[in-house]
Amino acid sequence: MRRGRTGVHGRGGAATLEICAAMHKNGVAACSPVDDAMTRPTTKPPLDILLAAPRGFCAGVDRAIQIVELALAKYGPPVYVRHEIVHNRFVVENLEKDGAVFVDELDEVPADAPVVFSAHGVPKSVPAEARRRKLFYLDATCPLVSKVHREAERHFAQDRHIVMIGHAGHPEVIGTMGQLPDGAISLVETTADAATVAPPDPARLAYITQTTLSVDETADIVGALRRRFPAIVGPKKEDICYATTNRQNAVKAIAARCDAFLVIGAPNSSNSLRLVEVARHAGQGPAMLVQRAGDIDWPAMAEVRTLGISAGASAPELLVEEVIGAFRDRYALRIEEVETASENVEFKLPRELRAPA
């Protein structure tokens, strides 16, 4: 597991052996698929943990954090970051300790400091303003979000109106809609919206989606759009990214076996919230979002014998270890990691950071 200057790197699933090693080192009795009932201390009640894999950091989040860390190393603090680089307070606070300064808008960035744009992407007006002010900027937009931006531009160039399926107010949606002039994209959040959206010409219509949506809900919305607009054009390959899809599938695979489910992530993280919903639909018990071990509702765990755990794409593995550690203090654990896909996606860093200082 790689750890950067902020100590937060490391992706779930891909680092299985290291996670196992860390757990053993920390006293967690065993991981997949070992039954360690014999080694459980008798003074603590037993608890089975099913650990979803893949979980946690995706390649886009990993790259975005690396960009800030490398910019700090290369240019020195302060490095300004427009918006949370990824949706996780722990990550943001660690970067702040190293000298990153998070701001809402470019007018808070001094002329002589580098600024990084977040993984969610930005409207075209943001780099345009940075160029106008001659700011040095690094774009940490995930390449899979940039791919959706290019799709939107292509449809627009072919004179199609675009329906974007996504959540109003999410930075990725603001960034994607901001690639085109006002009115070029209509936002649809639900199947009810799909039933009422009124494009100017139904024969020239395309749809794109936010990358971090529920796979199942999005399929329903796309189905509703297709029924109303048979000529609608969609992406060749899903806009919902590999990481979102894999994390949802991993949760689905274990939720039915769990009495309760914890997703480690932030309340403003779209993909973490979707994992909670998936766990609720596919499982039989409650599913809760926790940011840190301190958020665990211990009374709600009293009757739980099998607990599912996953983490959103912006939650570092350290926080998974912290949560497991809190359970280890109270229970005799048997941990089974259930891996439904392996991931080896990596994205190139911006050229400026690949070159020596």
Q: Where on the chain is the footprint of ligand SF4 (CB under 6 A)?
A: 58-61, 119, 142, 144-145, 211-212, 241, 243-244, 271, 313
Q: Please state the φ and ψ torsions of residue 13, each to the nearest 5 degrees.
A: 85, -60
Instruction: Give residue number: closest CB to ligand SF4.
Output: 60
Helices (H), the chain: 16-25, 59-75, 89-97, 125-132, 143-157, 171-177, 191-196, 215-228, 242-255, 270-282, 317-330, 351-354
Q: Nearest-CA neighbor of 207 among 175, 237, 162? A: 162
Spot the catalytic one: 172, 321, 339, 343: 172
| Neighbour tally for 198: CB within 10 Å | 7
User: Which amino acid is located at 67 in the chain?
Assistant: I
Q: What letter does residue 137 receive in the DSSP assignment? A: E
Rounded distance between C-alpha atoms, residue 340 and residue 26, angstroms: 25
At its nearest, how many Å lie between ligand SF4 and the CB of residue 273?
13
Nearer to ligand SF4, 58 or 185 (CB): 58
At its nearest, how many Å lie between ligand SF4 and the CB of residue 271?
5
Nearer to ligand SF4, 209 or 306 (CB): 209
Nearer to ligand SF4, 315 or 333 (CB): 315
At its nearest, how many Å lie between ligand SF4 and the CB of residue 272?
10
* Cβ–Cβ under 8 Å, residues 176 and 148: yes
At its nearest, how many Å lie between ligand SF4 and the CB of residue 212?
5
Nearer to ligand SF4, 244 or 306 (CB): 244
User: Annotated catalytic, 303?
Assistant: no
| Neighbour tally for 131: CB within 10 Å | 10
Nearer to ligand SF4, 11 or 328 (CB): 11
Structural tokens at position 162:
């675009």
Phi-psi sector, 119: left (phi>0), alpha (psi -120 to 50), beta: alpha
At its nearest, how many Å lie between ligand SF4 and the CB of residue 85?
11
Catalytic residue positions, numbered: 172
